[in-house]
Structure 1
Amino acid sequence: MADLNYHHLRYFWAVAHDGNLTRTADRLNLSQSALSVQIRKLEERLGHALFERRGRQLHLTEAGRLALDHADTIFAAGHDLIGTLAGTGRTRQALRVGALATLSRNFQISFLKPMLGQDDVEIILRSGSAEELFAGLESLNLDILLTNQPPPQDHVSPFTTHRIAEQKVGLIGSRQRIEGHADLASLLEQNPVILPSSGSSVRQGFDALIERQGIRPNIAAEVDDMAMMRLLVRDDAGVAVIPPIVVQDEISTGQLWESEVSLDLTESFYAVTMKRKFPNPLVGKLLARDRL
C-alpha cells in the first residue's frame, strides 16, 4: 500500500483552514487547477471525498473534518519537535463542545471535568442559541452539544440524545428570605420570585404547581440565563427557582440558602451527538461515565 503523500495533505490542510480554493491558490502561488489536482489525489488515496461544494463555498465532509484533525496534529508535530528540543511541546487532541448560552456554567464544568487539565486534550467550547449549536453539530464543527432542550423528535438530522443528568430544582435565596417559611405559599407570597422564562420545562412545572395550590406569587424577574439568575439572587432581588448546582458555591459559603420546602421539580440535562462514521473518541469517554 502506498504511503500517504504529505504534500497532498498539506495542500488540503491549507484549503481547509482558508475555506477558499482561490485564496489558498494565490497564497501558495499555484493555479487553482493544480491545487485541485493535489486534493483530488489525496481523496483518491484516502478513499473519501474531503470537501463538498455548496454554491461557491467548500464545506468539509465528515471524512474531511477527521482528516483536518489529523493534519492539524501532524503539522503541529513539526512545531512540537522544535519546542520539545527547546524544552516544551506535546501533541494535543481537540474536543469541540457546544453549550446552550443559558446553561449553568457549573454544570458545564462538572460534565467536562474528566477532560480538564489533561495535557493532551484541548477543549474548544462554544456557546450560542439552540439553532446555532444544532447547525454547528450538523456541519461537524462541534463534536457534542450540551443543552437542557432536547432536539425535536421529527428533526431530519441523525441526532442521538443522551440524558446525562437530572438536577432537582429548589427555592434559593438569602437567609433572611428563606428562614421562617415552612410552606410554599408563605415563602412565595412574602417574597418576590425570580423565575426561568416561560418556554422552559422548569417554568412549566412551576406554573402548574402554583396553579394547583392557588398561589399568586409576586414575580420580580423572568430570566432565561442561569448566569443572570445567579446574579439576581446573589443581589437579593428575590427567591429564585433554580437547580442548586447553579449557585453551589454561594450555598457552600452560606451566602445563599436553599429552602427545605420541596417543589418536587427536576431539570434534565442532555448531551447531543451526531451519528458519525468517525466519531471523536473523547466524546465516548465522556459519555461512558455514569450520570444519573
Structure 2
Amino acid sequence: MQQINYHHLRYFYAIVREGTLTAAAARMNVSQSSLSVQLKQLEENLQCALFNRMHKSLQLTEEGRMVFDYAETIFRTGDEMLATLQNRSGKYKEVLRVGAVATLSRNFQLSFLRPVIDNESVEVVITSASMSELLGQLNAHTIDLVLSNRAVKRDGGNAWQSRLVAEQVISLIGGKQYRKRRRFRFPEDLKDVPMVLPTTESEIRNHFDILMTQHGVRPLIAAEADDMAMLRLLSREIDGISLLPPVVVQDELEQGLLFDLHQLPTLSEHFYAITIERKYPNPLLQLLLND
C-alpha cells in the first residue's frame, strides 16, 4: 500500500501558497533544486501530474487542485488540534471558493451562499473580478464556482456549465417623496424625473431603453453605474427613481428608506451559477446546486 510522504505534501502546499518554486524554497528554507526533486517524488508517488508546466509558470492540474484541497484540510486539522490542546477552538474544516462578477448584487450572493455560510464547518472564500478573470480561475481550478448575471456559452473549447439559480423582477425604486404622491402611474410619472440606471452594457438597461422607446418616454438620466453596490448608494443619495432588482436595496425597503413603486413584468435579472466539468468536483457544491 502506498504511503504519503507528508514532507513532500507540505512542500507542494507551500509551492501553491507562495506561487513559485523560488518563493516556496525561501519560505521552507531549502534549495529550489531540492524542492523540485521533492515535488517530482510526490507526483511519482501519486502517479499524476500536479502542475501544468507552461513556460516558467506553474498551473495546477485538476488533480493538483484536489490534492491541494486535501492538503489544506490535513494541515488545517493539525492546526485545529494544536489550538484545541491550547484551549483555542478551531472552527473551519472545508473550503468553498466562489468567484462573483463585480457587478453582482451582494444581497443575492449572501442569499445564495447562505447554506454554506451558515455551516460552521465550512469556510467560504469569495473573489470579485471580471467575468474573463473568473473564468480563467475556474479553468485553472483555483475557484469552484462563478456567480454571474449572464450565462456563458459552452463550445468545444470549454466545459463550462451555466445553471439558472434565481430570477429577480426589476422594479422602479423611489424615496418617500414618491410614495406620498398619488398611486404611481407608469410610464407617465417617469417624465422629467431624475433616474438612476444601469449602464448601457447591462441587459436590464437595454430592455428598459426599448420599453421607454415603445412608450415614447425619454428618461432624464441623473446617474449611471455598472456596479449594483454603487447603484444602491446612488438610489439612496439621489432624489429620483432607480431601475433595480428589489433584492439590491432589500435593507432600505425593509427600513422604509426606499419604496418599490412599480414592478416591470417584462424585465427581469437572471442569476447563474457557472461551474466546469471536473473529475473531482467540490462536494460542497451539492448544497447549493442540488445536484
**Secondary structure of 1:8 counterpart:** helix
**Secondary structure of 1:118 counterpart:** coil
Say yes or no: does 1:244 pair with 2:246.
Answer: yes
Structure 2: tracts of 5 or more residues without a match: none
Asked if the contact 2:95/2:125 (under 8 Å) is kept, the reply is: yes
Partner of 1:76: 76
Partner of 1:212: 214
Deviations 1:131-177 (A, max 9, x none): 22111211211110111022244583211101000000000011212
- Which one-letter code corresponds to 2:124 in the other structure? I
Asked if the contact 1:98/1:146 (under 8 Å) is kept, the reply is: yes
RMSD: 1.9
Q: 1:27 Cα deviation (Å)?
A: 4.5
Say yes or no: does 1:96 pair with 2:97.
Answer: yes
Deviations 1:246-273 (A, max 9, x none): 1111111211111146453111000101
Deviations 1:59-96 (A, max 9, x none): 21111111111111112222211111122224511111
Alignment of 1:230-241 (within 5 A): 230-241=232-243
TM norm structure 1? 0.92
Distance 2:263 2:109 in 1: 27
Structure 1: tracts of 5 or more residues without a match: none
- Which one-letter code corresponds to 2:210 in the other structure? A
Q: 1:22 Cα deviation (Å)?
A: 3.4
Rate the CA distance shift 1:90–1:173 in 2: closer, same or farther, 3 A: closer
Asked if the contact 1:183/1:261 (under 8 Å) is kept, the reply is: no
Alignment of 1:1-292 (within 5 A): 1-87=1-87, 88-154=89-155, 156-178=157-179, 179-260=181-262, 262-288=264-290
Distance 2:31 2:85 in 1: 37
Asked if the contact 2:92/2:123 (under 8 Å) is kept, the reply is: no
Distance 1:261 1:22 in 2: 57
Deviations 1:158-210 (A, max 9, x none): 11101000000000011212432542122210411111111111111111111
Distance 1:242 1:69 in 2: 38
Distance 1:166 1:193 in 2: 23
**Secondary structure of 2:187 counterpart:** helix
TM norm structure 2? 0.92
Q: Which moves more between the two structures, 258-267 or 196-205? A: 258-267
Deviations 1:23-70 (A, max 9, x none): 433554544443323222221222211011111111211111111111
**Secondary structure of 1:279 counterpart:** coil
Distance 2:255 2:110 in 1: 19
Asked if the contact 2:170/2:244 (under 8 Å) is kept, the reply is: yes
Rate the CA distance shift 1:276–1:197 in 2: closer, same or farther, 3 A: same
Asked if the contact 1:220/1:237 (under 8 Å) is kept, the reply is: no
Instruction: Calculate percent identity across the aligned residue pairs.
Output: 45
Asked if the contact 1:181/1:187 (under 8 Å) is kept, the reply is: no
Distance 1:127 1:25 in 2: 30
- Which one-letter code corresponds to 2:239 in the other structure? A
**Secondary structure of 1:36 counterpart:** helix
Q: 1:237 Cα deviation (Å)?
A: 3.3
Distance 1:110 1:33 in 2: 47
Rate the CA distance shift 1:28–1:85 in 2: closer, same or farther, 3 A: closer
- Which one-letter code corresponds to 1:188 in the other structure? L
- Which one-letter code corresponds to 1:269 in the other structure? F
**Secondary structure of 1:250 counterpart:** helix
Query: Aligned residue pairs: how many?
Result: 289
Distance 1:142 1:194 in 2: 33
